[in-house]
Amino acid sequence: MHRLVWVGALLLVVGQAAGKEKMIPLSAQDAEALRGKTVALTRHEPPSFMAMTAGKASFALFGAAAMASAGNELVRQNAVPDPAGLVRDQLGGALGQAFGAQLLPLDATATKAVKPAELARLHADADYVLDVRSGGWNYAYFATQWGRYWVGYSVQVTLVETASNRVVSNLACAANTINDGEPPTREALHADQARLLKHVTAALGARCVQLLGREQFRLTAAHMPVLPPALANTLRPGTAPATLTAATDTPAPAAEPLTDSGHVKVATPAVAADGDTSQAVQPVAVVEQAPVPAVAQPVAPAPAEPAEPAEPAPAATGSGGTNWRQWSTRGGL
């Protein structure tokens, strides 16, 4: 039963992002119009962190509530930062460097506004609003290795012109550690005030900065935020702080390009046919059609909570490169 819930949740996520095929990268005309203009920065409350264990997955909707409750408590007790802050700071700074945009102070309070018109009204004093909000974050067990876990994160970035309520640019990114090497145990993610979990979520956010900077805002290497070595390995924290620094005169290392092989795709919502730009921005994602271990492997019945399943021998899940899968931009699983 828990396997069906686990797979069903992933399929639901896939369905939410399907069918919104048009991405909105920043055009050369809009990039030129951005020069010297003011840009407001919004703040959002993070979505629930979904802590999926084999035991909780056995209880369907009750299990989902338990996952959110356990995950939110983990985030609260250990002060795990929402990676949206890292994404917002780095992309906002890059827009300032690349296009001369003038960034206004970050909103002091969180907003629930998501529609372009709502965001524009929120900051009528600014020329643009840069809205960055996390869509979902989680960890989940491997169905073939109950004691081992992967971590996922998604974020959506929207740039709105306040005078017209127009979405100038919109794209979302989803990243995970499914193929990033030997997966950690839940105990390892929780240990030392969730140090590893903090590192992994920051590293996934940094991946999204690189992808969104390149694909959404068409930043050159000279203006791309630099990915420090400390965040290069998602599953192994470095000694440097888990932050990104903006590039100055030194070109950034070339980021991994999107391929045309069908493994990586970008999907974003199209503007409504009737020109209504006040509609809510729909879920969008960067996708890798990677195989999910739960689909192909049989799984024994899950143990009851709170005991965790016995840990099988560890096994590597991939080469450790950048991997993108579809993920909800609204609120996790």
pLDDT at site 231:
82
Residue 146: which of 11, 289, 13, 2 has the closest Cα?
Answer: 2
Residue 308, both tokens: 């965790």
- Per-residue confidence (pLDDT) for residue 58, from 0 to 100: 52
CA atoms of 219 and 93, how far apart (whole Å): 12
Is the entire prediction scored with pTM above 0.85? no
Out of 32-36, 181-185, 187-191, pick the least confident.
181-185
> What pLDDT, on the 0 to 100 scale, is given for residue 64?
84
- The span from the CA of 83 to the CA of 226, in Å, is 16
- Residue 247 confidence class, pLDDT cut points 50, 70, 90: very low
Judged against a pLDDT cut of 50, whether residue 219 lies above it is answered with yes
Share of the chain above pLDDT 70, in %: 62
At 165, is the pLDDT very low, low, confident or very high (cuts 50, 70, 90)?
Answer: very high
pLDDT above 90 (res 85): yes
Q: Is the pLDDT of residue 160 over 70?
A: yes
Comparing 8-12, 15-19, 56-60, the range with the smallest average pLDDT is 15-19
Note the pLDDT of residue 86.
95
Q: Is the pLDDT of residue 66 over 60?
A: yes
Q: Span 302-319, mean pLDDT?
A: 37
C-alpha 159/C-alpha 169 separation (Å) is 5
- Choose among 241, 171, 159: nearest CA to 210: 171
3-state class (DSSP) for residue 189: helix
CB of 31 closer than 8 Å to CB of 218? yes
Contact residues for 139 (Cβ-Cβ < 8 A; gap 6+): 50, 51, 52, 71, 149, 150, 151, 152, 186, 189, 197
How would DSSP label each residue in 226-264? B--GGGTSTTS--SS-S--B--SSSPPPPPPPPPSSSSE
- Greater confidence (264 vs 216) lies with 216
Instruction: Please determine, for residue 1, whether its predicted confidence score (pLDDT) is greater than 60.
Output: no
Identify which has the larger pLDDT, 115 or 304: 115
DSSP code for 185: B
- The per-residue pLDDT of the chain, averaged, comes to 73
User: 324 pLDDT exceeds 80?
Assistant: no
Encoded tokens for 239:
């000694």
127/309: higher pLDDT: 127
| Confidence (pLDDT) at 143 | 87
Measuring CA to CA, which residue among 138, 121, 169 is closest to residue 52?
A: 138
Using CB atoms within 10 Å of the CB of residue 318, give its burial: 0 to 12 exposed, 13 to 18 middle, 19+ buried: middle
What pLDDT, on the 0 to 100 scale, is given for residue 233?
79
What integer is the mean pLDDT of 238-260? 36
Q: What Å distances lie between residue 92 and 59, 129, 132, 276, CA to CA?
A: 42, 10, 10, 27
Question: Per-residue pLDDT for 32 more than 70?
Answer: yes
pLDDT 10s digits, 251-290:
333 333 332 222 223 333 333 333 343 444 333 334 333 3
Report the C-alpha gap between 143 and 241 in whole angstroms: 33
The rounded distance, in Å, linking the Cα atoms of 36 and 95 is 10
For the residues 140-156, what does the mean pLDDT come to? 94
The predicted pLDDT at position 238 comes to: 58
E strands, the chain, are 38-41, 49-52, 102-106, 128-142, 145-161, 166-176, 264-267, 285-288
- pLDDT of 206: 95
Q: Is a pLDDT exceeding 70 seen at residue 186?
A: yes
Question: Is 195 exposed, middle or buried, given 0-12, 13-18 or 19+ CB atoms closer than 10 A?
Answer: middle
Return the higher-pLDDT residue of 171 and 291: 171
The predicted pLDDT at position 225 comes to 87
Q: Is the peptide bond before 298 cis (omega within 30 degrees of 0)?
A: no
Give 325 or 177, the one with higher predicted confidence. 177
